[in-house]
Structure 1
């Protein structure tokens, strides 16, 4: 009988371990205003599956704003609209900026072609919040925050200029080591 119990216990433990592998770990931390936010993890901002509405960029385009904190500063990543980009055929130029643009044209999912020479592309804004404000105050003054509450660091960012890592985010070549993350919507 003792042998059967041990095997049953081992099987139950093995089954529990298998189930835990699919559970996403979420750790809560207190933000710079002493409110509960999620500890930064790449899994929070990573695209979820193959459905475009679950992509972080799509969430931002639909009106959500991503607030990210280091241990001392709060940043805002928001959708800034669309801009017209001239489509350049590969045979016309070989400079790195054009190659980046062409590569973007081939691989981006956030664009809509408008005519033979130009396309519309989504652009994003990276800002530092001048002062961390409680969520209730932020919602009352507006999401994304109005210009008097932020210092815009990068405008007209391509989504490819935002590179997530295990420890933070690279924006236009500069690394920001992140501690906390929170999506907020206008509503």
Structure 2
């Protein structure tokens, strides 16, 4: 009986995600960084991290001494890939990419619209209450923009942090925020 209970318990533990609470740089409870916190949840687009950001949530990430902000920055028109690449089944297209033709005109058929994101360092570490007062995402006078017009594919998450614009940030804590 004990062996069966142990086996069932170990099966259950495989599906339980560990969440550890830490105190942020303002001594407020945030979640300890884990890749599972920022990983897309399932196959439904509204559960993708990029979709959450596009809907108005902002991701705040902290190292042991600094706070960063990752937010949706809008859409950008870019040159489309040649049709041979678009229809090649061996080329994988990310489900986070939102590709739209700008309109039906021949001159615009070479362009697509993609979602872009902004990575910034918070100049001053503010409590959440004050952050909501000044605005989420924070206004430009509160952040130093480190990289803008980032394609979602260029945000590379790892077990220990994130790579953005060729630089690694070792993360300690993470928190999604919105104005709501």
Q: Normalized against structure 2, the TM-score is what?
A: 0.89
Could you tell me which residue of structure 2 aligns to residue 107 of structure 1? Answer: 93
Q: Which runs of 5+ in 1 are unaligned?
A: 1-7, 92-98, 100-104
After TM superposition, list the pairs within 5 Å mapping 1:77-92 onto structure 2. Answer: 77-89=70-82
Could you tell me which residue of structure 1 aligns to residue 5 of structure 2? Answer: 12
Aligned partner (choices 104, 125, 131) of residue 132 of structure 1: 125
Q: What is the RMSD computed on CA atoms of the aligned residues?
A: 1.7
Could you tell me which residue of structure 1 aligns to residue 88 of structure 2? Answer: none
Could you tell me which residue of structure 1 aligns to residue 155 of structure 2? Answer: 162
SS in 2 for 1:153: strand
Paired with 2:144 and 2:59, the residues of 1 have a C-alpha distance of 16
The one-character-per-residue Cα deviations of 1:98-141 (angstroms, maximum 9, x if unpaired) are x9xxxxx9614322222411111100000000011110100011
Paired with 2:23 and 2:160, the residues of 1 have a C-alpha distance of 18
Matched residue count: 168
Divergent runs of 4+, >6 A: none
Q: Normalized against structure 1, the TM-score is what?
A: 0.85
Residue 52 (str. 1) matches residue 52 (str. 2): no
